[in-house]
Every structure is written in C-alpha cells, then in structure tokens.
Structure 1
Amino acid sequence: MDFQFGINYNNKSDEELMVFIIKGKEKAFNELYERYSKRLFLFFYQKLYQNNDKAQDLLQDLFLKVIEKAEAFDHTKNFSVWIYSIAYNMCKNEYRNNSIKADKTISLDLENVNKKTVPATIINIENNHSLFKKCLDIELEKLNKKHSLAFTLRHQDNLSIKEISDIMECSEGTVKSRLFYASKKLAVTLKKFNSDKY
C-alpha cells in the first residue's frame, strides 16, 4: 500500500525491500535493519564466544555489506538465507583471522534461530537490580549527551529508531550510529554484570 507521502515499507517482503535498497531508498534499509538486527546480533554473539563487542562490530559490518552488495542479491531468492550466509562466512573469517581452531562446527540453522531471545550481555533495562541501575546511570552520564539520549530513548523508553530520529532531529542512520557507540562503551564499562550472578 502506498501512502500519499511515500511507500509503506512495513508491508513489503524482505526481497522487495532489497529492490528498493538498490534504488537508494534509505527507509527500506531501515526496515530490514529493524527486522534482522536483534536476531543477527544473537547469531554473532552465540558463535563468537559470547563477546558482546565483537558481535556489535560484526553486526555493523554485516549491514554495511548488505548495502554494498545489494545489487548482487537475486530478489527471486530468499533474503533470510542470503543474509545469514554472509553472517556465517563472517564468523568463519573471524576464526581464521584469529588463527583459532574451532572444535565445534559453526552450523547455520535458520529454523532454530531464536528471533526474540536477547543475550544476557545486552544491557537489560528491565533488570531490577538497584546496583546495576545505579552503575548504568553513572556510565550513561559519562557518555556524549547525544549518545546517552539515544540509548535511553531506545532501551528505557522503548521508542523506535524513527521516533528517536524525529525527537533528535537527525537521520535514522545517525541514531543507529549513536546506539552502536553507546552500546559498545557500556558493554565495556558494565562488563562485570555479564555474569550469571547478576
């Protein structure tokens, strides 16, 4: 369905969105990002030693590849398989680059990818530990104001990327960049909470 001021990308299939991305439609990319970013973060996190920083880095690189290789995608094929194949190869390259011999084979099992589960190392704002919240507040204060605000709006107020971009009067890409930066910094400064005892 087309709206007066543009296309409703929410109703488009992944494959249709890729066609729009090839045409330079930023909102189509944003829609794909919304659909896949969390589950692909989980994929990287599980495959690469539960390393939050590494998973965030590879997630950002992956979506850059989606843009760069958009024209190589056959829109008659399944997008989900295509993007997970790229993610899978990135994991294999990471093992190779680090000269790590993996005893376990990295398996690409699309059927068992949990689309809703988020790993414990992602900052969980719903965590009721007062110590965690106090430390989180302290670390958020140390961040650049714009990065801190983007993180708070996204993870505490549960606003969408689009809503945050409207509030902060910047592009959705800028919001994502700020969220990546804030998440990376917090993953390091709040590393002690990445434990079962918390």
Structure 2
Amino acid sequence: MEFQFRINYKNKSDEELMVLINKGKEKAFNEIYERYSKKLFLFFYQKLYRDNNKAQDFLQDLFLKLIEKAKLFDYNKSFSSWIYCIAYNMCKNEYRNNATRKDKTINLNVEELKNDDTSSIIINNEDDFLLFKKSLNNELGKLNEKHSVTFTLRHQDNMSIKEISEIMACSEGTVKSRLFYATKKLSVKLKKFSSIKI
C-alpha cells in the first residue's frame, strides 16, 4: 500500500507554490490567488482610474498570464517582484492605449509615508489625515506615471528598492532618484501639512 502525503500549501513559499503550479497542482494556484488577489486588485484599481470592472478584468487576465507563463518564472527570484512586474507592464500598456489619463488617484498607506525619513509631512488627527490623503491623491495624479508608480510601490505596497528596480526594469539608483523627486515634489505641494504636529 502506498502512502500519499498531503501537501500543506499554506506553509509553502510563493516560489515553492510556483513549482507545484508548474506540476499542475490546482490547490497551489488557489493558494497563490488567495495570497495576492486582493493586493493586486487594489493595485489595478488604483492605477486604472478607480474603475472596479477594469480592475477585475485585469486581475483575471493577470492570473491567466501567471498560468500561461509559469514555466518562465525564475525560481531564484522573488515571486512577488515577478507578479508585480507583469501587473505593472499591463498597466503601462493600458496607459499607452489611453492617451488621456483620467482622474488617476492613489490610496497610500500614509503610516508608511509618515515613518519615511525622506518625508517632511506630519499628520495630526483624523481630519488632517483625510484632508492630507485627498490632497496627496490629487497631487499624485499630476505626477508622471513612473514617479507615481515608484512612489506607491514603495509606500503602499512596501516594496524594497531592489524589488521596485526589478518591477520597473531600471537601476536601483533610478528608483532612488524617482523617489527623491516624487517626495520632494509632493512635500512642496503639501507643505501646508508640515506645520501640523503629531
């Protein structure tokens, strides 16, 4: 009699799950979907003009691409960077197809921004927080796509400089430069918040 060991997918790393997906294990795909679908839906929703239907369509397309391109995944690299790279490229193609970018607003994790050494923005209370968030979204919509996406990958998706450089196919120095530029520009535009004390 042969014993079959039950695989505990929840304990597997993303990269290990990709190995199993390549072997046709549906539960491995379900686990990856469970881990990333909400985050990636939010990514698409924020980058694609807050259009719920478009974000859902892009999310489904992304996971179809994951299945189709699973064999192309390099197991020595981070799965998170790889999947965000595909998502970012899908958005870039959409921007090209839509010459006119409508109300692109981005909802950031402002706590991360407050703790970042490069930021001079200080938030006081809930009202200030909401006003700041609205103003920040508005100003981010005015930045070019590369600066805006770099900034949000860092502060919302908590990506490292290295991960962002892989996603955006540029050097780490370029990522730092874009972050510096975006933060400086936003600090100037939102300087009224710098006088508010925690």
TM-score range, shorter chain: 0.5 to 0.7
Query: How much identity, in percent, do the aligned residues show?
Result: 70
Q: Does 1:104 align with 2:144?
A: yes
Q: How does 1:1-198 map to 2 (within 5 A)?
A: 6-100=6-100, 104-106=144-146, 107-108=149-150, 109-114=152-157
Contact 1:44 1:58 in 2 (8 A): yes
Alpha-carbon distance in 2 for matches of 1:85, 1:113: 16
Cα distance in 1 between the residues matched to 2:7 and 2:82? 24
CA shift digits 1:5-55 (9 cap, x unpaired): 521100000000000000100000000000000000000001111010100
TM-score by length of 1: 0.52
Aligned to 2:145, the other structure's residue is in SS state coil
Letter in 1 for 2:56: Q
In structure 2, C-alpha distance between the alignment counterparts of 1:13 and 1:69, rounded to whole Å: 18
Relative distance call for 1:110 and 1:6 in structure 2 (3 A) is farther
> In the superposition, relative to structure 1, how do residues 111 and 99 fare at CA in structure 2: closer, same or farther (>3 Å)?
closer
Q: What is the CA RMSD across the aligned residues, in angstroms?
A: 2.2
Distance 1:57-1:34 versus aligned 2 partners, 3 A rule: same
- What is the one-letter code of the residue matched to 2:74? D
Unaligned runs of 5+ in 2: 103-142, 159-198
Write out per-residue CA displacement over residues 118-137 of structure 1, whole angstroms, 9 at most, x where no aligned residue.
xxxxxxxxxxxxxxxxxxxx
Task: Say how many residue pairs are matched.
Answer: 113
